[in-house]
């Protein structure tokens, strides 16, 4: 067993011309941890995340994901992470099963593995009735859960969730967070960005980005104490307004 740190970031910086989108951020995330990555729009969280998932090259600094360097081993990182974008990117014109088969396939799962995972997922999410239906005909909440499960198909070490609960109702959000807890309990690290401050309370640790820098990083409880407020929302407001 290597180090327990699944994500190690040191002074990671991304410049767009003269503009510092991400300004020397440093943090670590442990195995099985739920790490909340917060920040206002334009604070740089998406850019930071894109560097970690290997679709954007950092300008300087160091970063390792799942033990691989983002500068040199982006391909190995891709095999070991799962990713769910803001848009629950499944194919609407493919059935639930076809989506699972397709994404399992591009992650290099064998046919037998795909069959096994499909059966398991259909049972876990109670999808028996709709497995043969086009994803486009399903309600948003279902799509989102399926999308999350698809991101976990290849048993990644870390799963990156980019604002996974945008636009869904509170009940579905609740169910979704139960899935996140279950995933983390199984040892998968969850790296999640969100706008909802009540969701920040569910995370093990939270970082808050302001203007490309990480201004706060700790457990929700300690952050609230540190800023002398009752909710994460207040913490965020205090930071964001300077």
Partner 1 sequence: MNRFRGFIKKEFYHIFRDRRSLFILFGMPIAQILLFGFAITNEINNVDIGVLDHAKDATTEEIINKISTSKYFSIKEFIEREADIEAAFQKGEIKAVLNFEKDFSRNLVKDHRATIQIITDATDPNTANTISNYTSSILRNYQQELNTDINMPFQVIPQFRMVYNPELKSVFMFVPGVMTIILMLVSAMMTSISITREKELGTMEVLLVSPLKPVLVIVGKVVPYIFLSVINAIVIVVLSIFVFKMPIQGSLLLLGVVSVLFIITSLSLGILISTVSATQQTAMMISLMGLMLPTILLSGFIFPISSMPMALQVISNIIPAKWFIVLLKGIMLKGVGMGCLWKETLILLGMALFFILVSIRKYKTRLE
CB of 219 to partner 1, least distance (A): 29
Q: What is the DSSP string of the chain?
A: ---SEEEEEEEEEEEETTEEEEEEEEEEEETT-EEEEEE-TTSSHHHHHHHHTTSS--SEEEEEETTEETTT-HHHHHHHEEEE-TT----TTSBHHHHHHHHHHHTT--HHHHHHHHHHHHHHTT-TTTTTSBGGGS-HHHHHHHHHHHHTTT--SEEEEESTTTT--HHHHHHHHHHHHHHHHTT-EEEEE-S-HHHHTTSSEEEEEETTEEEEEE-HHHHHHHHT-SSHHHHHHHHHT-
CB of 73 to partner 1, least distance (A): 12
What is the size of the binding site for partner 1 (CB under 8 A)?
29
Q: Does 53 bind partner 1 (CB under 8 A)?
A: yes
CB of 136 to partner 1, least distance (A): 10
Judged by CB, which is closer to partner 1: 98, or 204? 98
Q: Does 91 bind partner 1 (CB under 8 A)?
A: yes
Judged by CB, which is closer to partner 1: 32, or 166? 166
Q: Does 194 bind partner 1 (CB under 8 A)?
A: no
Could you say which residues in the range 21-50 bind partner 1, by CB under 8 A? none
Could you say which residues in the range 115-174 bind partner 1, by CB under 8 A? 134
Judged by CB, which is closer to partner 1: 26, or 113? 113
Q: Does 78 bind partner 1 (CB under 8 A)?
A: yes
Q: Which of 29, 56, 65, 146 binds partner 1 (CB under 8 A)?
A: 56
Positions in the binding site for partner 1 (CB under 8 A): 53-57, 75, 78-79, 81, 83-87, 89-94, 98, 101-103, 105-108, 134
């Amino acid at each position: 067993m290597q180090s327990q740190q699944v994500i190690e970031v040191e002074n990671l910086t991304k410049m767009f011309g003269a503009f510092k989108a991400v300004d020397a951020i440093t943090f670590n995330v442990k195995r099985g941890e739920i790490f909340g990555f917060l920040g206002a729009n334009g604070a740089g969280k998406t850019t930071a995340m894109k560097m970690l998932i290997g679709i954007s090259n950092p300008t300087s600094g160091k970063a390792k994901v799942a033990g691989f360097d983002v500068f040199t081993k982006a391909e190995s990182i891709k095999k070991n992470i799962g990713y769910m974008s803001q848009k629950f990117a499944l194919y609407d014109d493919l059935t639930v099963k076809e989506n699972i088969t397709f994404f399992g396939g591009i992650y290099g799962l064998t046919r037998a593995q795909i069959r096994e995972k499909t059966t398991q997922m259909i049972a876990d999410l109670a999808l028996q009735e709709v497995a043969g239906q086009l994803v486009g005909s399903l309600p948003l909440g279902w799509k989102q859960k399926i999308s999350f499960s698809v991101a976990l198909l290849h048993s990644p070490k870390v799963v990156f969730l980019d604002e996974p609960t945008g636009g869904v109702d509170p009940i579905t959000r609740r169910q979704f967070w139960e899935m996140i807890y279950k995933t983390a309990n199984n040892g998968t690290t969850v790296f999640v960005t969100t706008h909802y401050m009540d969701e920040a309370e569910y995370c093990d640790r939270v970082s808050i980005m302001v203007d490309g820098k990480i201004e706060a990083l700790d457990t929700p409880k300690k952050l609230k104490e540190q800023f002398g407020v009752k909710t994460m929302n207040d913490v965020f407001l205090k930071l964001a307004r300077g």
